[in-house]
Amino acid sequence: MPTMRAVQVTAANGPFELVQREIPVPKGRQVRIKVQACGVCHSDVFTKQGLFPGIQYPRVPGHEVVGVIDALGPDVPEWKVGQRVGVGWYGGHCGHCTSCRRGDFLTCKNGQVAGISYDGGYAEYMLAPFEALAAVPDELSSAEAAPLLCAGITTFNALRNSGARAGDLVAVLGVGGLGHLGVQFAAKMGCHTVAIARGQDKEPLARKLGAHRYIDSNKEDVAAALQKLGGARVILSTVTASKAMSATLGGLAVDGKLIVVGASADPIEVPPFTVIGGRRAVQGWPSGTSIDSEDTMAFSALADIRPMIETMPLERAAEAYEKMMKGDARFRMVLTTGK
């Protein structure tokens, strides 16, 4: 049987292993993707450390995958061999749980995730159910498109469903892997965009990305600074520091909303009077489905939005992962296969 290179994890907290595997054959409703690029996301920690319930090993991580369909299984409608496609966090749904019956596939009780539920994109080939596929625009390179399938869709989809309109004050907390995309999306959507980060050194980049104003949380009270600007209709929190999230709540306008997309196990402190008095809210947002991925990439191509990336070949996956985990990536690591 023909073989491929793949980077797998064989046990929770085990090392990344570069191995030779048989190239998989698609079954019913599946396609095989010849992987060209795969983003390295912080959520890959679920696979690396065994944090996701029910994960089985060995497992190939990766849920920011872009490549070309090179084989179709039975019962795959519309998709064709040779099409360039992406697979993101949403990797399929069951179709029978309460959420699915209501058409809310993203919150499927039995939802699948590439690189967790089945082998992902840290490999030269992978299988995916056809409903997880998103068409990739010609204007985006595969390496550019990959981070848009998780970091991009999460910030884009959260903002476009936030209720914010053109001209509204929208603050983006953090100018990192998620935040540097959130700032671009907010600005291109016509919002009065405020970037919030620690240190004056982040301001030039934030301005370049489209931020109209910058708040250095080391020097200013973030909530007070936002209130001086009239209060934020939306604060998009892309950081994982719950204390930093809590510190922004007082900066929301009446009916303002803190949307949390940066995952953390630490609780957010929400004083009841803060939310009651101004009808303020705290909400989470979990990525999007495959059509949302298509919308994200199409808008990015249209508005000239690109992630800032650093590429490494597949065999350096462990190095790319460590660089991401240490916070040294500027801002998204992407593995390439040379395919």
CATH code (residue 13):
3.90.180.10
Which contiguous run of DSSP H or E holds residue 291? helix 290-303
Residues 270, 181: Cα–Cα separation, whole Å: 27
328 and 265, same structural domain?
A: no
Distance CA 227, CA 165 (A): 18
C-alpha pair distances (Å), 222 with each of 52, 80, 229:
34, 50, 11
Q: Name the average pLDDT for the chain.
A: 97
Which pair of structure tokens corresponds to residue 152?
Answer: 């991009």
- What gap in Å lies between CA 300 and CA 305, rounded to an integer? 5
- Phi then psi for residue 12, to 5 deg, are -55, 130
The model's confidence at residue 247, banded by pLDDT at 50, 70 and 90, is: very high
The pLDDT assigned to 211 comes to 98
- The residue range of the domain holding 279 is 153-284
Express each pLDDT in 179-233 by its tens digit: 999 999 999 999 999 999 999 999 999 999 999 999 999 999 999 999 999 999 9
Q: What's the mean pLDDT in 55-65?
A: 98
> Given a cut of 90, is residue 252 above it in pLDDT?
yes
Say what the pTM is. 0.97
Total tally of structural domains belonging to the chain: 2
Shared domain for 88 and 7, answered yes or no, is yes
The terminus-to-terminus CA distance of the chain in angstroms comes to 19
Q: Are residues 84 and 182 in the same domain?
A: no
